[in-house]
Chain A
Amino acid sequence: MYQDLSNLKKFYMLFTLVLFAILIVRTGQLQLYQWDKYFRESEKNRIRDIILEPLRGLIFDRDGEVLVDNRPNYSVSVVPYEFLKADSAIILLSEILNLDPDDLKKKINKNKRGNFSPVKINRQIDFRVLSAIEERRLDLPGVFYNTESKRYYPGGVKASHLFGYLGEITSGELKKFKDTNYRIGDSIGKTGIELQDEEYLRGTPGVKYIEVDVLGREVRNLTGLGGVSPNPGRNLFLTIHTEIQKYLEEVMADRKGAAVVLDPRNGEVLALMSKPDYDPEIFSNPLTPETWNLLVNHENKPLYNRASQSLFPPGSTYKLVLGAAGLETGDITLEENILCTGAHRLGNRLFHCWKKTGHGEVNFLAAVEQSCNVYFWEKSRDIGLKKWSEFSRNFQFGKLTKIDLPNESPGLVPTKEYFDRKYGEKKWTRGLVLNLVVGQGDLLTTPLQMAQFAMILANEGVLCRPHLVRKIEDPLTGEVVFTKVDSIQIQGTSKKTYRTIKQGMNLVVNGVKGTAKSARIRGVTVCGKTGTAQNPHGNSHAWFIGFAPMDKPEIALCIMVENGGSGGAVAAPIAGGVLSIYFNDQKFAKIP
């Protein structure tokens, strides 16, 4: 032995004895001295943990008007131990809730966390179900209902694609949020802002411990057990200009299409509309499979957000990209005129300008004003596909705008490599390029990207990331977090080029031969560009992109009417409507 350890051993034996004695005395106290009390407690152990749902955050418009609010709603829960004892109760409840008894049993067994923790089995029950349960209370042991909240939309703005909707959490989502406090039966944002900002809107649930009687009714609140109050979700203040949003929803009511209106100074989204839409309130009530199937399978795809998810050829609005490229490379000068005879020849194929009789001699500005195809086709020979692709990428096409909405599509900017992959090297002709430069063919953009492009032109190269949430407020502390405005400088295009393009866009709206005269408004110089994009699925898509005022732009927009016809005749007037609302409101309200 390296040292005498018998004393140390004695010390630690004593130490162990003392600790064990404490444990045994305490156990004896519980089991022998207080046995009566705990035995009785265990016989009538009816302590329940009740989850207190947090109030979901509200959504406001830019002026602080409520757009999305909460309204009380009821859900049914059961305590498995008491409920599953009696088959009659299972059958009765499944009748009331219109469920299969076996499914009901399975659902409870699958989701229970112990026999005495309530399992939520049905959300959004209506008053009829509620009163049926209340009437048969005695036959339904362990069944009770909770008050929750559901969404409603007091502002009169549907904006279903913007707000999105809530739905019951799926098992996949539960797994994904495993370590957070979601439970089966909870609501969770499924699309739109409800999904994007779920973490802010939701809040944190609380818990309270109650003692219940034989029928599962609360006898008293056991505050001593350390319940926790729920924390409401945070309120979102959007950048939405309600009047413009409403106008767009009304004017497009019977059409398909999308519109995005931005404030080019900071990227705030003043309106974002997609049609056809749906009434978001249908998700606040029990959703029947029929309604759901109708929404999912409808040929017009009302669940799709056409502004940021759907892809379209942008038509002639896209000629401005080639224009910018040409002005930068020097292939386009203001002095040079090109003769449009109404068609452009490539090999033995004729490509027709939209004006069959031709535009005659046109320079760059006139070509933009009248949207002459032949001019741009001619110029694309000098500029080439490579430059065009490069400028397209610079103007952020084929990339996500990183707007704060889920499931955005990046679109597609074809390149030489893309065509080589698709058709094989040297197996494709310049005809494809001719299509691209007038915004047709394989080129695909979202209306959001086109609005962003209008913003870049308006700002002469400055891009502010489009965003919908202006600030997030904690209703408890009043703490407010503002969204940071991110801006970048677009590379490769000079101020001079932007100014020239703006001149052309001015003529589109205000020139004698301009294609978008209906976008003019009194007292403000509007710049724009129309597009009429042919597509294989029916009528052409009508496009308009633009901004105003020309010198100090405050608003940039994109209007797209799917299969609407000509951009100048269909899209431009809607843009005019938006602009007149915006400017009359802000500046010209006083002018009689």
Chain B
Amino acid sequence: MLSEHKSIRHLDFKLLATVVVLMLFGLVAIYSATFVDSESDLLNFKKQIIWGILGLLVLAGTIFIPIRVLNKYAYTVYGISVFLLFAVLMIGTGAGTDRWFALGPIRIQPSELAKVGTLLVLAKYLSKENRDLNNFRELAIAFSLVFLPLLLVMKQPDLGSALVFLALILPMLHWAGLSSMVLFVLIAPLISLVCAFNYYTFLIAMLIISAVLFLSQRGLTFFLVNFVLNIGVGVVTPIMWNLMKEYQQKRILTFLGLVTDPHGLGYQVIQSKVSIGSGGFWGKGFLQGTQTQLRFLPEQHTDFIFCVIGEEFGFLGIFAIFALFFYLIFKGLTIASEVKSKFSSILVFGGVIIFLFQIVVNIGMTIGIMPVTGLPLPFLSYGGSALISNLVIVGLLLNASRKRFEYF
């Protein structure tokens, strides 16, 4: 029985095929985005093919690592990735963005390894027997495991990648068994903070928060503490905001992508919307997109790859992408809910969240409903480090699905 589970037949080929099709889609789009004329060297396209092959080999390796081993070395991987994040800040050029290690012509982004490392370490920490997540101390440790790499990535500064870490923590806690009420108590002050800038939104937010707190029937003290805390956040936030100097406010808004900065992000979003919108239902055809071929978008082969697909392959192409992504998420969640090992379950779920977050934020940015944060689209955007780390996560999914009947 056991040996049978280890055989290749238990590999989820449909999931693997989905990912490979997405990668091929990405290659087509990168080809189009960097194609100039028949003489162009297509360097990025060729590099991405090499990264893709390399990534699939790494994926194959990941599938066959015993879950036990992954669990055992979770802290080691995490430790190495945090060390590398420190190192990249230390030896960085100091001028602006220190995100890469340059190994000859290859540039490696340690933040990508840190995603995997953090995923492993959180899964291990949360899946430990007798873990009581409603205990404040244990919860705080879980948070610090995420915030250490998060702050280091933010320092680079790479807001997009940093947000991936932030997006990970609450859903993973939720999946690991944190009660919905504690989750709510954690989220509520954030809602109050965001809503505090307008009387009406704040009023509505407070009504909802109070209603949920009241209906939870946890007693008067619980209600009052949380109520006062949220009111406090709501009152203090605008005061703090007004005390800040204008340039500080501007810096925060720019950081959050809420105002356009001198580099012309507003221009990028306009061009991005024109690219996608002009594609229509059928698209303009491969290499026929005027926006794409005239290079309106400086980042079109990386962060704005979705525009290339939207313009040249239309709504049809985009719908296909959504279908593939949805299948990936659906399979991931299914594996996460079926797998017997708690560690694997949390691990797989975290991977799904990483994908979901990147997909929503990247596409949302290109269609103008999310701020421009500079996050690549998984499997499609040009970029070696991100592709490899995403394929490693797929490897973990496939690994877990092969052994979903084993407890360890």
Contacts and interface: CB of A to CB of B under 8 A. Distances in A.
A32 B356 contact: no
Contacts of A3: 177
B281 to A, nearest CB: 6
Contacts of B104: none
A314 B254 CA distance: 58
Interface stretch (B44-52, B142-150, B202-210, B294-302): B294-302
B291 A45 contact: yes
A23 B277 contact: no
B322 A30 contact: no
Contact of B337 (A8, A30, A34, A38): A8
B296 A116 contact: yes
Interface stretch (B63-71, B157-165, B259-267): B259-267
A35 B280 contact: yes
B314 A31 contact: yes
A22 B368 CA distance: 12
Nearest to B265: A226
A37 B97 CA distance: 38
Interface in B154-176: 171, 174-175
Given A35-B280, A116-B296, A8 B262 contact: no
B282 to A, nearest CB: 10
B266 A42 contact: no
B276 A27 contact: yes
A49 B271 CA distance: 12
Contacts of B315: 27-28, 31-32
A37 B270 CA distance: 13
A2 interface: yes
Nearest to B272: A30
A179 B95 contact: yes
A338 interface: no
A207 B340 CA distance: 58
Interface stretch (B11-19, B107-115, B225-233, B328-336): B328-336
Contact of B367 (A5, A30, A41, A225): A30
Interface residues of B, number: 60
Interface in A3-20: 3, 5-6, 8-9, 12-13, 16-17, 19-20
A485 interface: no
Contacts of B329: 16
A1 B335 CA distance: 12
Contacts of B349: 12
Contacts of B351: none
A228 interface: yes
Nearest to A229: B262
Nearest to B370: A23
Nearest to B127: A2
A475 interface: no
A184 to B, nearest CB: 15
Contact of A2 (B273, B279, B294, B345): B345
B267 A30 contact: no
Interface in A198-244: 204, 206-207, 209, 225-226, 228
Contacts of B337: 1, 5-6, 8-9
Interface centre among A17, A31, A35, A181 (most CB of B within 10 A): A31
B310 interface: yes
Given A12-B171, A47-B270, A207 B264 contact: yes
Contact of A23 (B275, B294, B364): B364
B34 interface: no
A35 B278 contact: yes
B360 interface: yes
A27 B310 contact: yes
A263 B315 CA distance: 75
A30 B273 contact: yes
A39 B277 contact: yes
A178 interface: yes
Contacts of A24: 318-319, 322
B338 interface: yes
A209 B267 contact: yes
A495 interface: no
B123 interface: no
B403 interface: no
Given A31-B314, A41-B278, A42-B275, A1 B338 contact: yes
A43 B311 CA distance: 13
A206 B342 contact: no
State the majority secondary structure of interface residues on A: helix
A33 to B, nearest CB: 9
State the majority secondary structure of interface residues on B: helix
Interface centre among B262, B273, B342, B345 (most CB of A within 10 A): B262
A34 B200 CA distance: 32
A32 B319 CA distance: 13
A225 B339 CA distance: 50
Contacts of A47: 267, 270-271
A1 to B, nearest CB: 6
B274 interface: yes
Nearest to B357: A19
Nearest to A35: B280
B274 A41 contact: yes
B356 A16 contact: yes
A299 B369 CA distance: 66
Contact of B175 (A5, A114, A225): A5
A27 B320 CA distance: 13
A524 to B, nearest CB: 51
A552 B314 CA distance: 84
Interface in B80-98: 95-97
A8 B174 contact: yes
A16 B262 contact: no
Nearest to B326: A20
A459 to B, nearest CB: 39
Nearest to B338: A1
Contacts of A115: 294-296
B9 to A, nearest CB: 23
B373 interface: no
B290 interface: yes
B290 A43 contact: yes
Contacts of A5: 175, 336-337, 345
Given A19-B360, A116-B294, A38 B336 contact: no
Contact of A31 (B271, B280, B291, B336): B280
A26 interface: yes
Contacts of A418: none
A3 B338 CA distance: 10
Contacts of B352: 12
A66 to B, nearest CB: 29
Contacts of B280: 31-32, 35, 39
A23 B279 CA distance: 16
A31 B310 contact: yes
Contact of A226 (B260, B291, B314): B260
Interface of A: 1-3, 5-6, 8-9, 12-13, 16-17, 19-20, 22-24, 26-28, 30-32, 34-35, 37-39, 41-43, 45, 47, 49, 81, 113-116, 178-179, 181, 204, 206-207, 209, 225-226, 228
28 contacts: A5-B345, A12-B171, A20-B325, A20-B326, A23-B367, A24-B318, A27-B310, A30-B310, A31-B277, A31-B280, A31-B310, A32-B315, A34-B277, A35-B280, A39-B277, A39-B278, A39-B280, A42-B278, A42-B291, A43-B278, A45-B271, A45-B274, A45-B291, A45-B296, A116-B294, A116-B296, A209-B264, A226-B264
Interface of B: 95-97, 171, 174-175, 177, 259-260, 262, 264, 266-267, 270-271, 273-281, 290-291, 294-298, 310-311, 314-315, 318-319, 322, 325-326, 329-330, 333-334, 336-340, 342, 345, 349, 352, 356, 360, 363-364, 367-369
Given A1-B337, A8-B337, A31-B310, 14 more contacts: A5-B345, A16-B326, A16-B329, A23-B322, A23-B364, A27-B276, A30-B276, A30-B277, A38-B278, A39-B278, A41-B278, A43-B290, A47-B271, A226-B264
Question: What 8 A-B pairs come out closest when comparing CB atoms?
Answer: A38-B277, A179-B96, A42-B278, A226-B260, A30-B277, A226-B266, A5-B337, A9-B337
